[in-house]
A and B are shown apart, each in its own frame.
Chain A
Amino acid sequence: LCVKDNRLSFLDIDEVCEEIGINRHIIRFTSTVRFDDPGPAVKTAEKLKGLLTEKLQGWSITISDGNISVESVLIKVEGEDDSTKNIYVSWTNQDEDLGSYILGLLQSMVQ
């Protein structure tokens, strides 16, 4: 919430940076989890979305082309149909709590 043109306005963080003339520096972390789940990668992604929906109640979780998004956390599944999948989990520093929770959840799932 800020004052802009003598009016109170809601701005997102990128708009605030532009208004005050600073170059935001984005920090992003990516880690990989290997998951033995035969079948198409998109099916694995759907299973993961189901798990996240169950565990992260109150959060908006979307899936598009097999890529799952929760805030800045992106989860991408890659791998051939009959092989182990690589699950890439990536998040910005702002979403460290959420990103590390999801990574820990996936790591515990494959152990």
Chain B
Amino acid sequence: LVAPPAPARAAPLHWSSPDVEALVRALAREGVGSARVEAGAEGEGGSIVHLPRHDTLVHVEPHATHVFCEGRPDVRQALRRALAACLPHV
């Protein structure tokens, strides 16, 4: 296990919301393919991207994206890169 991180590291700030089709393409580019997209609950909006091969579910809403994943760092880093590719950030 690596040493604990130092506090107060700068991190990217994202805004707007990702286009789900663009996100699926970005995930495929990162090697996280076989995505299945379905609409979120009626009245709540958003979309749910299932990634069954990686036991991962991505809930995309207008102001937030919540990723439920198994905990593999390589998959999580691929998801982070794909989301960063679809969202403006500084």
Q: Which residues of A contact B (CB under 8 A)?
A: 13, 17, 22-33, 55-59, 71, 93-98, 100-101, 103-105, 107-108
Pairwise interchain contact A30-B68, C-beta atoms closer than 8 A: yes
Number of residues on chain B facing chain A (CB within 8 A)? 30
Pairwise interchain contact B65-A25, C-beta atoms closer than 8 A: yes
A-B contact count (CB 8 A): 88
Pairwise interchain contact A98-B5, C-beta atoms closer than 8 A: yes
Q: Is B25 an interface residue (CB 8 A)?
A: no
Q: Which residues of B contact A (CB under 8 A)?
A: 1-2, 4-5, 7, 9, 11-18, 62-71, 73, 76, 79-80, 83, 87
Pairwise interchain contact B67-A94, C-beta atoms closer than 8 A: no
Pairwise interchain contact B69-A25, C-beta atoms closer than 8 A: no
Partner of A26, one of B1, B4, B63: B63
CB distance from A14 to the nearest CB of B (A): 10
Residues of B contacting A: mostly = loop
Docked Cα-Cα span, A69 to B76, in Å, equals 21
Are A30 and B66 also in contact (CB < 8 A) when A25-B17, A108-B1 are?
yes
Residues of B within 8 A of A28 (CB): 64-67
Are A13 and B13 also in contact (CB < 8 A) when A56-B4, A59-B7 are?
yes
Nearest chain A residue, comparing its CB with the CB of B76: A29
Docked Cα-Cα span, A55 to B4, in Å, equals 7
Are A27 and B67 also in contact (CB < 8 A) when A93-B11, A96-B11, A108-B1 are?
yes
Partner of A24, one of B2, B14, B70: B14
Docked Cα-Cα span, A24 to B16, in Å, equals 6
Nearest chain A residue, comparing its CB with the CB of B86: A25
